[in-house]
Structure 1
Amino acid sequence: MSATTVKKKIKAGVSAGAQLIAKQRRRTSTPWAVVRGSAIHGRGLYAVKTIPDGTRIIAYDGEVITKAESDRREARRLAREEAGKDGCVYVFELNKRHDIDGSMSWNTARLINHSCKPNCRTEIVRGKIWIIAKREIAAGEELFFDYRYGFATWREHPCRCGTERCVGFIVAGEYRWRVRKILKAERVAAKKAERITQKRRGGV
């Protein structure tokens, strides 16, 4: 194979890759929202006009990976977090066998923040994850969906949404009552320990 042929193949490969990235960027853009700084966390997506209830706002796109690869990437994410680097979670469950790693910069939907009282929901339609309006969303509102993290890791994910449903941690709705119960028991135990300590000090 000549050097000219190799160069042409490399150029064709680069061009195809660039076209794929451009296509993905177009696919993950949306006429409904723009990226702005968020008071909740980092950046977020904000409605630029009224979004009707049920609207498919934007697709959550990325690399389709196996569950095993998902576990490996989660281990690396935790290592980065422990090192004080970006520990954001971008892996989204697609089905029983595969997840989607949405950490790519062209996946604009990765910037949507969590809320315990979200105005959006997620739905998988023909293998694609969509962010869909749960209600009519006014222009200027930040978009949120419920990340629904599992109970086993709830302490690892503090929540800053501040809604009345919030327990201070990002965890699926069906587990929030358990988290509230645990936190209440811990507060009671802490107060009891404080009273005992004060009593001992007073008796010295």
Structure 2
Amino acid sequence: MSKKSPPKKKSPPKKSRTKSLPEIATSPLVEARNSPIHGKGVYALKPIKKGTRIIEYLGERISHAQADARYEVKGDDDGHTFLFIASSRTVIDAGVKGNDARFINHHCDPNCETEIENSRVFINAIRDIKPGEELGYDYQLTWESTDDPAELALYECRCGARRCRGTMLDVEPLDKKKKEKAGKSKSAKKKRRG
């Protein structure tokens, strides 16, 4: 995250490769309406069983460079974003041609998770969800340790979970994860030589 580009929801580690999947633009299981967490939220209209694919996160598919350029002029006091990293080449901007999935709020005790298949993002239930319950998943917004603390404060979490971590940001900064990954690669290479 830099001052010029808003954070993007990071791709989760869970990936699978399937051929053609139907687009899930709307879902009879959910509806968007006002939320006490933030602006609008998405709520279950009927019981949703654990493992159910609820809706697809849709929007304009753009490159990372386009996403950065598009939101370069975004105000410093605006922590709102509809960007989702779908792959190393593609970002989904649900602010353009997006559906109700863009209104699913962050939650530190989520009832959903995102799954990426062939650069498409789907929202799946990770536990049974009752009618009237608001859907939420952990955004894990990426950030750097050098980011301005005042800017990072814009991503305060308001989910109300008992163990709320207080932020929509990922637990560790991206630059720290890259260093740890590089360190693991070096030690793995040393083991292979020895």
Q: TM-score, with normalisation over the residues of structure 2?
A: 0.68
SS of residue matched to 2:56: strand
Tell me the residue number matched to 1:158.
156
Matches within 5 A, 1:5-16: none
Q: Does 1:103 pair with 2:95?
A: yes
Q: Whole-Å Cα distance in 2 between the matches of residues 163 and 68 of structure 1?
A: 35
SS of residue matched to 1:71: helix
1:131 to 123, 133, 136: 123
Q: Whole-Å Cα distance in 2 between the matches of residues 149 and 97 of structure 1?
A: 18
Q: Whole-Å Cα distance in 1 between the matches of residues 163 and 172 of structure 2?
A: 12
Shift of residue 36 of structure 1? 1.7
**Identical aligned residues as a percent:** 41
Distance 1:105 1:65, change over 3 A: closer
Give the paired residue count.
146
Residue-by-residue CA offset, 1:46-102 (whole Å, 9 max, x unaligned): 00111011111000001111111111123233x2x54xxx65210100111221111
Tell me the residue number matched to 1:47.
44
Report if aligned partners of 2:32, 2:40 keep a CA contact under 8 Å in 1: yes
RMSD between aligned residues: 2.2
Tell me the residue number matched to 1:186.
none
Shift of residue 167 of structure 1? 2.6
- Normalized per residue, the structure richer in helix is 1
Counterpart residue identity of residue 102, structure 1? A
SS of residue matched to 2:161: coil
SS of residue matched to 1:131: strand
Q: Which runs of 5+ in 1 are unaligned?
A: 1-25, 176-204
Shift of residue 165 of structure 1? 2.7
Q: TM-score, with normalisation over the residues of structure 1?
A: 0.65
Q: Which runs of 5+ in 2 are unaligned?
A: 1-22, 174-194
Distance 1:105 1:44, change over 3 A: farther
Who wins on radius of gyration, i.e. which is larger? 1
